[in-house]
Structure 1
């Protein structure tokens, strides 16, 4: 078993596309990714179809996934309690992900609620997840700063990390929604979080410009983070963030880097290559 939990994020890759991807095509792509051997597949979201029309068919996609020959766990994003209540009814889903922004402006843009209101949602979500055999993954969104002029500093990260872990969050993923993280920030924040919350799984979800992605992957690795999100070919971004989107960290770059360090990832690279080829039907 690999020490690293790689989270593949086709949901993040697809959600901002303007043309609707047919459900059958989405399902075929996800079924290929399920055979690669990732720890987790961030496959869809239970949010307003008006906000994210691309994910309107998440329940239908889920019903057609082949989960019989995979150990990969499914993660679905939710943005409010309505989404939580829908998602927990699906026994196939292991994780519910919630974007908790430390930027008030982005929290309003992304979930139409304040940070204070979102904290209440997280509390209720934790309770609902516990009763339905699910785990919550809370993304500390805009964790490296924001483009809106909202206050950001290391103390704010510490404050919200304390608040969320004290409420029982077991998986906390630091998210750079607009690609403004730096090597210096990664190496300052991640090791401190990992050391301070040794009973909490600390993950990272970065967006990046192509020229910065490799140095960021190296910074993640040297920071000791073992839960890393990526998306095939670096597709995607958050349509609620800015109009000038940066892509996800390419999963193939993460795989290549970790393999070069001698890490055993136990992935089926033939299926990965098939997924890479199939992705052209969706993203090209």
Structure 2
């Protein structure tokens, strides 16, 4: 089981700037918990994501000496990837490849064909620098634009990623559109069809629908889950203001019910939860 904590996703849409020292302290608290991976920041244009303009400064302040947790940074293009690979502390680069052409243009200002070309270049860059590319299939469960979506389309995107050598693919529910009825068939079909790929679930949800979504992915064989303490964050374009990230505490409760041992330091998790309340006071 791999749990990926996503403070970057929780922070990126907030308009009030979180001081660098506050971000750094919170991330250091999360590093003490023992998650597999921390999605900690992004190397993107400060104009696009002003909240994360201090990612390099935050990285310099992280204490990685006593943690097993690996770092993941989001990038939106080759230039961002070239910046990220200069930092030896980072293990993973994450890139949002959209199943929706409209969202790809809105999110990274390129077509999906151009984005796939970037994926190929970024994968090579990662391979050359000892890092791993994580491809997020944004709008993986549908989109609000009327763009075509079907399990066959998601499978085709996955096949193209597999041909490029990408080894981690996270199906991403960008707007909270997924249901058990869409989650289960996708993972059930993709996991056996692409044995070389590690599939993850980056699910956005409302407070009342999280359990059915986690259960559908888990029962279908997914063993990599993204979450954020408090369920904070999510896509600014989500129509429902209650739609946010999968709350990590809910994920942990579900896994405990299944008898899954996560190996996390729960005392450290409690301290991080308390700190989150101060970092995100309005949430």
Same fold (TM over 0.5): yes
Task: Please list every run of at least 4 consecutive aligned residues from structure 1 whose deviation after the TM superposition is greater than 2 angstroms.
Answer: 241-245
Query: Who is 2:156 aligned against?
Result: 159
Residues 1:170 and 2:162 are matched in the alignment:
no
Query: Who is 2:128 aligned against?
Result: 131
1-structure distance, mates of 2:2, 2:144: 30
**What are the superposed Cα offsets for residues 192-242 of structure 1, whole Å, 9 maximum, x if unpaired?**
111111111111101011110111111111111011000001000123x44
Partner of residue 78 from structure 1, selected from 75, 79, 98: 75
Query: Who is 2:208 aligned against?
Result: 211
1-structure distance, mates of 2:277, 2:263: 25
Q: Is the 8 A contact 1:15 1:238 kept in 2?
A: no
TM-score normalized by the length of structure 1: 0.97
SS in 2 for 1:252: helix
Q: How does 1:134-145 map to 2 (within 5 A)?
A: 134-145=131-142
Unaligned ranges ≥5, structure 1: none
SS in 1 for 2:25: helix
Query: Who is 1:250 aligned against?
Result: 247
2-structure distance, mates of 1:107, 1:242: 16
Deviation at 1:244, TM superposition (A): 4.4
**What are the superposed Cα offsets for residues 176-201 of structure 1, whole Å, 9 maximum, x if unpaired?**
10000010111110111111111111
2-structure distance, mates of 1:233, 1:94: 25
SS in 2 for 1:210: coil
Query: Who is 1:41 aligned against?
Result: 38
Q: Is the 8 A contact 2:175 2:239 kept in 1?
A: no
Evaluate the alpha carbon distance shift between residue 55 and residue 113 of structure 1 in structure 2; reply closer, same or farther with a 3 A threshold: same
TM-score normalized by the length of structure 2: 0.97
